[in-house]
Amino acid sequence: MKRPILPLAGGCVAGTLVLVASLAAAPPVSSETESADQVWINGNIHTLDGTRPRANALAVRGVKLIAVGSNAEIRKLVGPNTKVTDLHHRTVLPGLIDAHGHVASLGSFGLGRIDLSQARSFSDVVATIATRTEKTAPDTWIVGGRWDHESWPDRTLPTHARLSAASLKNPVWLRRVDGHAGLANTLAMRLAGVTRDTPSPAGGEILRDANGDPTGVFVDTAMDLIEAKVDAPIPDAAELLLKAQGMCLSVGLTGVHDAGISPEEVAVYRRLADDGRLKLRVYALISSAYAEDYFARHGTLVGDRLTVRAAKLYADGAMGSRGAWLLRPYSDRPRDEAGDPYTGLNILTPERMRSLALDGLRRGYQVCTHAIGDRGNRETLDAYAWALEQNPLADHRFRVEHAQLLHPDDIPRFAEVGVVPSMQPTHCTSDMRWVEDRVGAERATGAYAWASLRRTGVPIAAGSDFPVESHNPFLGLYAAITRQNAAGEPAGGWRPEQRMTRTEALRAFTLDAAYAAFEEDRKGSLVPGKLADFIVIDRDILTCPPRDVLETRVLKTVIGGAVVYER
């Protein structure tokens, strides 16, 4: 089921005729003669409209743009009640969209969950937990996350002994930065009933030492053994979402695809939308455990602030914790404890992925599958192709979330099957330190292969996977155009042939992210008739030195014509 590949202005490509047509049909300036509610003048506006990529001013009536053009053209729409805002030559971009984040989880760190992302050694982790135990009543759970052993001098996975010695009275559970592994202390394992005789569950692993005892590290589905027993107070769900919303608005996000939520979270989102407190535009992906039943009972929802029409599946784990599912064994762990070739973990069976993909096609919801390893990606593409043979649907826009490691044979299959890769640029710049250790230099040619994918004609929907990475999209834009860390390393970028151009990177966080949610006719570019979602920033990220993109500050975030954040 190959999709047409058509050029846009500036050499960009898009995966469907629908997107190109919507841009080409948009007039640069509205023919409306009635005055605007608002006009914004004297700006440096990047529209991402193929017919008029640059403008100086725009006009808003209600929640939509009615005109985009020169100052002189837009001033014609100023009436006696029009609010006029002088941009003083500041840069304006379409509202940025994070195509893969975890909103409640971001809110939990914003509200004080222990954040170990700045720990520079396991000793830092132990010291942080020891300090917290001094302030915590005995038997109370201590929960945190975002530790990354790959950033420590000793890059081996930690074991629980030192942590357990520092937290004798409290059960402790600390998730790794990728969210696919966690470290438990002795008391947490005891409460969970985990012993040396506890078997690893399907799709997960309990790591063990040379004596066969649990090290305290639980990978993928094995984490459920501990998390089923965690009894830690958590903030109200609405409080979590609203905290994260404020964090997102402050960095210029006007939309987020919330990847993997429960029906209960949907209900909270709906209440916030009904109350007018939901400012972000949220595209919700229901976790696969609930998806079939949820969509059978409720169908899909397409709303102004909340849309629920997608499911989130898991093919495998993550490369950082060696849970990604590979076609060949890991280079740095070629065999498991039993001496068998170790290729990672599959969380859902291929049969289950096929079943859910087919259900999505029949019930009209989009299927989005987390796949990181090259085998995880291949099995996902195979499942989608099989389902489409059973139930053809031209515009399904099924997605692969992450698509971090691809076999060269599978890169063109995204376009052939009509699949959108939803990728996170900062994963590349975080993982480039160790990815060749995991899979070797040869296989790493298919890692974070943005340019190779774009050459096949597919749009790439960009995001961050926050709070795994920062929710600040300008870090992702910088990573996409440089493939360097914040220190500018390595010189020239890691595998620089896969970099995006600045326009491609901006499209990935705007039009292509909107396309991945069936929303390119409403969002993603500044075109008359689309929603008045845009941001004002303190520099021109399409022309400034690349390093300066990292320091971008958002001055205003505007959604539906309303200023929802102002610096």
Domains of the chain: 1-95+524-567 (2.30.40.10), 98-102+236-523 (3.20.20.140), 112-227 (3.10.310.70)
The full length of the chain comes to 567
Return d(Cα 219, Cα 98) in angstroms, integer.
Answer: 26
> pLDDT tens across 463-488, in order?
999 999 999 999 999 999 999 999 99
**pLDDT-derived band of residue 233, with 50, 70 and 90 as boundaries?**
confident
Longest dimension (CA), the chain: 81
The pLDDT assigned to 11 comes to: 31
Please state, in angstroms and rounded to a whole number, the distance separating the CA atoms of residues 98 and 508: 9
Give tens-digit pLDDT for 195-219.
Answer: 999 999 999 999 999 999 999 999 9
Give 214's strand partners: 208
Mean pLDDT to the nearest integer, 117-143: 96
Whole-angstrom distance, CA of residue 505 vs CA of residue 460: 9
pLDDT of residue 234: 78
What tens digit of pLDDT does each residue of 153-170 get?
999 999 999 999 999 999
Mean pLDDT of the chain, nearest integer: 93
CA 14 from centroid of its chain's CA atoms: 20
- Residue closest to 260 by CA, chosen among 316, 314, 325: 314
DSSP per residue, 188-249: HHHHTT--TTPPPPTTEEEEE-TTS-EEEEEEETTHHHHHTT-------HHHHHHHHHHHHH
Tell me how far apart the alpha carbons of residues 298 and 294 are, in angstroms, rounded to a whole number: 6
**What average pLDDT does range 59-77 have in this prediction?**
98
- For the record, the structure tokens of 150 come out as 């790959």
**List of residues 6+ apart from 265 with CB closer than 8 A:** 104, 237, 241, 258, 284
Answer whether residue 32 shows pLDDT above 70.
no
Q: What is the mean pLDDT of residues 225-241?
A: 92
Least trusted range by pLDDT, from 14-23, 57-66, 134-143, 540-549: 14-23
Strand partners, 84: 39
Strand, helix or coil for residue 272: helix
The answer to whether 400 and 377 are in contact (CB under 8 A) is yes
pLDDT at 23 over 70: no
| pLDDT (average), residues 551-559 | 98
CA dist., res. 91 & res. 538, Å (int): 7
Phi-psi region of 112 (alpha: psi -120 to 50; beta: other; left: phi over 0): left
Closest CA to 419 of 446, 387, 390: 387
pLDDT for the residue numbered 460: 98
Question: In this predicted structure, what is the pLDDT of residue 232?
Answer: 81
The pLDDT of residue 60 is above 80: yes
Burial (0-12, 13-18, 19+ Cβ within 10 Å), 33 = exposed
Q: Span 406-428, mean pLDDT?
A: 98
* pLDDT tens by residue, 365-399: 999 999 999 999 999 999 999 999 999 999 999 99
DSSP string, 111-162: TT-EE-TT--SHHHHHHHHHHHHHTS-TT--EEEEEE-GGGSSS-SPP-SHH
pLDDT of 314 strictly over 70: yes
Work out the average pLDDT over 432-441. 97
Q: Name the more confident of 155 and 23.
A: 155
